[in-house]
Structure 1
Amino acid sequence: MKQFLEGEAATVAAGEKLGAIAAPGSVWFLEGDLGAGKTTFCRGFLRAFGHSGAVKSPTYTLVEPYELARGLIYHFDLYRLGDPEELEYMGIRDYFSDNSICLIEWPQRGVGVLPVPDIRVRIETSGAGRSLQLTSATARGEQMIKRVQAD
Structure 2
Amino acid sequence: MNFAEPVRVLPDEAAVESFAAALAAVLPRPFVIYLSGDLGTGKTTFARALIRSLGYRGRVKSPTYGLLESYRLPGRTVLHLDLYRIESPAEIEYLALPDLFGDDGLLLVEWPERGEGFLPAPDLELRFDYDGAGRVVALSARTGAARDRVRALQQGFDK
Normalising TM by the smaller chain, what interval?
A: over 0.9
Q: Distance in 2 between matches of 1:24 and 1:9?
A: 26
Give the aligned CA root-mean-square deviation in angstroms.
Answer: 1.3
Q: Matched residues in 1 for 2:50 and 2:75: separation?
A: 12
SS in 1 for 2:130: strand
Which residue does the alignment assign to 1:15? 20
Q: Which runs of 4+ in 1 moved over 4 A?
A: none
| Number of the residue aligned with 2:121 | 116
What is the 5 A alignment of 1:37-116?
Answer: 37-116=42-121
Match of 1:21, SS?
Answer: coil
8 Å CA contact retained: 1:84, 1:110? yes
Q: Share of identical aligned residues, percent?
A: 41
CA distance in 2, matches of 1:41, 1:98: 23
Contact 2:81/2:109 (<8 A) preserved: yes
Residues 75 and 104 in structure 2, CA contact (< 8 A), matched pair in contact too: no
For 2:15, give the aligned amino acid: A
What is the rounded CA distance, in whole Å, between the counterparts of 1:133 and 1:54 in structure 2?
27
Residues of 1 paired with 2:73 and 2:104: CA distance?
12
CA distance in 1, matches of 2:37, 2:59: 21
Number of matched pairs: 151
Question: Letter of the aligned partner of 1:59 in structure 2?
Answer: T
1:150 offset after TM fit, Å? Answer: 2.2
Amino acid at match of 1:145: V
Q: 1:26 aligns with which of 20, 24, 31?
A: 31
Q: TM-score w.r.t. structure 1 length?
A: 0.94
Amino acid at match of 2:127: R
TM-score normalised by structure 2 residue count = 0.89
CA offset digits 1:36-78 (Å, max 9, x no partner): 1111111221122111333221011111111012411111111
Paired residue for 2:40?
Answer: 35
The corresponding residue for 1:2 is: 7
Deviation at 1:90, TM superposition (A): 2.1
Q: 1:147: how far off? A: 1.6
